[in-house]
Structures are given as C-alpha cells and as structure tokens.
Structure 1
Amino acid sequence: MFYIYYIYRNDKVYMDFFTYSQRLDYLLEIIQKGQLSSPNDLVSKFECTERTIRKMIGDLRRKGYLIKYSRKELRYTLINI
C-alpha cells in the first residue's frame, strides 16, 4: 500500500522524497521478479505519468542497477553481474 504525499508549488505537483523512495524500492522489486512489462503497467498504481515511471527506471540505472528491456521477453530485467 502506498501513501501518496504531494507538494504543491507554483501550480505544479511534486512527489515528496519518502514517497518517491518507496516507489523506487517497489519498482526495483517488481523488476527483480520479472513482473514489469511496460511502464504503463504502473501508471494507475502510482497515480503518475508513464514519463515519471521511465524517469524512475533511469534513476535506478544511475544508482548502478543494470536494468534492460528485453524485446524477446517483452519485459524489463535486472542483469546480475
């Protein structure tokens, strides 16, 4: 279950750090389990845009996780070295 905290500034909505961190952890977990086929799968659950999900995947990659999209398997995978 996710608790959504938003910060409103200058007519823009921002997710707070705690919420973002929780979602990153969950995103990493479902990628590890092989359950993420498309960022669009999480749009309704996270109540955000597909672009935000893609940014989150990019953030995980910048943290050092090797996340690739497999066209053959049609899902995101975490590569273990």
Structure 2
Amino acid sequence: MKKVITLSKGKINLFGLKMYQKGRAFLADRRGGAGDTPNYVFNVFIGLLLAIAVYLLFKEQINTFITNTIFGKMNTLS
C-alpha cells in the first residue's frame, strides 16, 4: 500500500511528491540552460558526420539490405 501524506491541496502519494521534487530540481538545474546550446549544436553536427561516414562506408551493403528486405517483401505481397 502506498504511503500518503496530506498537504493543503489534498493528498499526494510519496512517489508523486518525489517525482515533483526531482522535476523542480531538473528545471532549476543550470546545466539545462541556454549555455549548452553550442555544445548541443556541436554534438548534433558530430552525430550527423558519423552517420554520413557510416553510410559512405557501407553504402552498397545498406542499399542491398534495404532493397532485398523492404522491396523484396513488398513484391511478394501481391
């Protein structure tokens, strides 16, 4: 059975109270502010470069896999 505490606005279970407190701490945390925008952009850029590099390295295998699995199964549906 969940433990329940009484506040001025009614009853809140302890799990909900803990999640509320964690949410408030997350929103108050300074690391999630606008200062991280350059890091976010840089990380997205590096991720895109890695995805392009992997695609260029395995272009033939990826195209063959997609053609055989997706389009091959679509041809057998008819």
Q: Please report the TM-score for the alignment, with normalisation by the length of structure 1.
A: 0.28
Per chain length, whose mean CA-contact separation is higher, i.e. which structure has more relative contact order (CA < 8 Å, sep 6+)?
1
Structure number having the greater strand percentage: 1
Q: Which has the larger radius of gyration?
A: 2
Q: Which has the higher helix share?
A: 2
TM-score, structure 2 as length reference? 0.29
